[in-house]
Amino acid sequence: MFVVLVLVGALSLCNAYPNGAPKDACATMMPGHKYANLTTVHAQTTPSPYKVMVASSQYSPGATLKVMIVGPQFEGFLLQARHNGNTAPVGAFSNPPTDTKAVTCTSGSDSMTHANPNAKQNITLTWTAPSDARADVMFIATVAQEKNMFWLNNTSPMVTLAQGYKKEVYGNDV
Ligand SMILES: *[C@@H]1O[C@H](CO)[C@@H](O)[C@H](O)[C@H]1NC(C)=O
Ligand SMILES: *[C@@H]1O[C@H](CO)[C@@H](O)[C@H](O)[C@H]1NC(C)=O
Ligand SMILES: *[C@@H]1O[C@H](CO)[C@@H](O)[C@H](O)[C@H]1NC(C)=O
């Protein structure tokens, strides 16, 4: 009941989801915005103007890394760390910069999203790896320049787990 009310409430806003991505978006990272005629707004198919950059190409369990979304000003986003080819978020975010917030998709503060539609640019997010990390990670984001214009699958380069830790392999990791 609560979920239904929240969804109906969100859809009726003319600026859908001004306060962050809905939980439905956790796995697909699709904002689920609708036009006034209720058809779904699709992702842009042009090359994305956004890059997700990570301060380091390697990490250790429990380490904290800075992750940046770089590009033109944008209003909304959803960003997670994931194992290659897997939709479950990994690790936790802290110290959300202005106009952003950490949210829970699976557990803890495992995802970051916008707190409002204010213009944002080149934001830096703070991620902490699980203390029992076992695999390489990448960061993936949906970035909405404006409500009806968003790019999916903005991915960072792979961040490899430092040598010496017991490793699990996902997707095409080596
Ligand atoms: C719904 O509205 C959008 C935006 O105005 C338009 O591009 C799309 O073609 C419309 N779809 C239908 C089925 O009318
Ligand atoms: C954002 O980063 C890009 C690429 O590094 C840079 O060209 C641009 O000036 C930066 N914009 C701001 C507002 O920092
Ligand atoms: C995003 O990635 C997923 C999984 O790799 C793929 O199914 C989907 O088609 C991609 N979407 C776009 C817009 O590139």
Distance 121 CA to ligand 2 centre (A): 8
pLDDT at residue 79 above 90?
Answer: yes
Q: Which domains does the chain have, with CATH numbers?
A: 19-161 (2.60.40.4060)
**Span 106-148, pLDDT tens digits:** 999 999 999 999 999 999 999 999 999 999 999 999 999 998 9
pLDDT at residue 64 above 70?
Answer: yes
In order of 79, 82, 94, the CA distances from 19 in angstroms are 15, 23, 18
pLDDT at residue 3 above 50?
Answer: no
Could you say which ligand is closest to the alpha carbon of residue 42? 3
The pTM of the full predicted model, rounded to 2 decimals, is 0.86
In order of 24, 139, 153, 158, 169, the CA distances from 18 in angstroms are 15, 23, 21, 30, 37
Percent of all residues in the chain with a pLDDT value above 90, rounded to a whole number: 75
In this structure, are residues 143 and 48 in contact, taking their beta carbons and an 8 Å threshold?
yes
Distance 28 CA to ligand 3 centre (A): 9
Ligand 3, CB cutoff 6 Å, lining residues: 43, 152-153
Question: 166 versus 30: which is more confidently predicted?
Answer: 30
Could you say which ligand is closest to the alpha carbon of residue 142? 3
Within a 13 Å sphere around the CA of 142, how many CA atoms are in the beta-carbon half?
Answer: 28
- Of 84, 153, 155, 170, the one to substitute when testing ligand 3's pocket (max ligand atoms within 8 A of C-beta) is 153
Q: Is the CB of 70 under 6 A from ligand 2?
A: yes
Return the residue whose CA atom lies nearest to atom 13 of ligand 2: 121
pLDDT at residue 9 above 70?
Answer: no
Distance 70 CA to ligand 2 centre (A): 7
Distance 121 CA to ligand 1 centre (A): 29
